[in-house]
Structure 1
Amino acid sequence: MFIENPIVRGRFLERINRFLARVEIDGEIMTVHVPNTGRCKELFVPGATVVLEKREGIGRKTPYELEFVYKGKRLISIDSQIPNKVVMDNILKGKLDKFVGYDVIEKEKTYKNSKFDLRLSKKDEVFFVEVKGVTLEENGVVMFPDAPTERGTKHMMELKKAKEEGMRAAVVFLVQMDDVLYFTPNVKTDVKFASALKDAIESGVEAYAYCCDVKENFIDIKGEVKIKI
């Protein structure tokens, strides 16, 4: 998907809180919106080159949205809304062979106590899909989560329940960067999530990881990435 609004580069200065940061743009210090409430400590470092989307709209408190961060030469998308959009777009276009053949594709559908990102259905099958964005990378290995996630653990447990009740269920890890070795759950940060993911997979829940082609105004799925549990 392309970013249609104007794009500018800046220099990251500091994160103010979960939603705001200070960035230097053309010598001017600006407060910008951060569309990712995760920690991203390895990305949001003083002096990092960032890419921002200029947005204008009624009610906006900041004119810029922080969309990408350079980690060395590696460009990483940090917008937490992007993974759902990219996966949905690729499913609608029939580009992901694991997700073809469904008549109805719906967003944010509830099952038991969870709201999953997608529900695909056809006459004789319901398929729940949960999408997780991945921005944490160490030496080419990408991991999720970058902070403890009770919600993510609950999602894995309820995907397992859906599978046990005869539905199809999957988790998709969208790696918001390219040139990675493999994906693995971040056991050091959240052993409960890692355990719940392993248990879900062993119970028949499908797990897929995809890396992305990332440019300063573009992101799309590039290919599948190996998962190591």
Structure 2
Amino acid sequence: MKFDKPLIPGRLIERYKRFLADVELEDGTVITAHCANPGSMLGLKDAGSRVWLSKSDNPKRKLAYSWELLELDDAMIGINTAHPNRIVEEAILAEQIAELADYEHLRREVKYGKNSRIDLLLQDEAKPDCYVEVKNVHLLRQPGLAEFPDSVTKRGAKHLAELSDMVREGHRAVMLYLVQRTDADRFALAGDIDPAYAEAFAQATEQGVEAIVYLCDISTSEITLSRPLPFA
């Protein structure tokens, strides 16, 4: 996934009200950017951190700037949770995800379950439908260990239950955790943050829901799929 235009550097002043962030640009201008991230962003919102923004030319947007990346030590971290579906879709179409290869059709945001939409639905006449739910990962509390979730997610547990329902109906269901940071080498569930999600995950995988993890390559020009990560 390439960014449409060169990103704009700045320094984070404050992230607040979940979806807003004040940033000082290099010329000293202070702007308010949209933060497309509903999570707690634990460890990723310290004042003074170097951030990268995109700017929209759409005059109808209330906030022209969007917070895209965070630079932390030697790592680049993707902040925008609107991007993972597109990153994964591009990787599937480029046959970069072996576990999800050889499907003829890919559909986005298809209704299923109890008033939900699956992120990606893969279909082929020769095999069962494959329901793919994508989760963004950027929590890291120990060196190299990426974790999900960074806050309680009842919605995430609901998705696991609905993926289990698809398996019982004879389909294939895959939970794909996309690690949007460059300093991770393994993955685990943050069961101390959300025990209910960890329990829902255990039940889902027992019933046949598959779980895979992929790392991203991140730069100020693009975010692409890198390689699979093991569960710790």
- What TM-score bracket applies, with the shorter chain setting the length? over 0.9
Match of 2:228 in 1: 224
Q: What percentage of residue pairs aligned between the two structures are identical? A: 35
Match of 1:118 in 2: 120
C-alpha displacement of 1:162: 0.9
1:12-91 matched pairs, under 5 angstroms: 12-26=12-26, 27-91=28-92
Q: Check the 8 A contact 2:6/2:220 in 1, yes or no.
A: no
Q: Does 1:131 align with 2:134?
A: yes
C-alpha displacement of 1:41: 3.1
- In structure 1, the gaps of 5 or more residues are none
Rounded Cα–Cα distance in structure 2 between residues aligned with 1:72 and 1:51: 14
SS in structure 1 opposite 2:31?
strand
Rounded Cα–Cα distance in structure 1 between residues aligned with 2:113 and 2:215: 30
Q: Check the 8 A contact 2:42/2:139 in 1, yes or no.
A: no
Which aligned segments of 4 or more residues in structure 1 are displaced greater than 2 angstroms? none
Match of 2:10 in 1: 10
Q: Check the 8 A contact 1:134/1:174 in 2, yes or no.
A: yes
Question: One-letter code of the match for 2:174?
Answer: A
Deviations 1:6-30 (A, max 9, x none): 3111000012312211000021111
- In structure 2, the gaps of 5 or more residues are none
TM-score with structure 1 setting the length: 0.96
C-alpha displacement of 1:151: 0.6
Rounded Cα–Cα distance in structure 1 between residues aligned with 2:104 and 2:7: 37
Deviations 1:180-204 (A, max 9, x none): 1311111011111111112111221
Deviates more, 1:151-160 or 1:106-115: 106-115
RMSD of equivalent CA atoms: 1.2
Deviations 1:164-220 (A, max 9, x none): 221100000000012313111110111111111121112211100000111112110
Q: Check the 8 A contact 2:128/2:171 in 1, yes or no.
A: yes
TM-score with structure 2 setting the length: 0.94
Rounded Cα–Cα distance in structure 1 between residues aligned with 2:152 and 2:96: 32
Question: One-letter code of the match for 2:216?
Answer: C
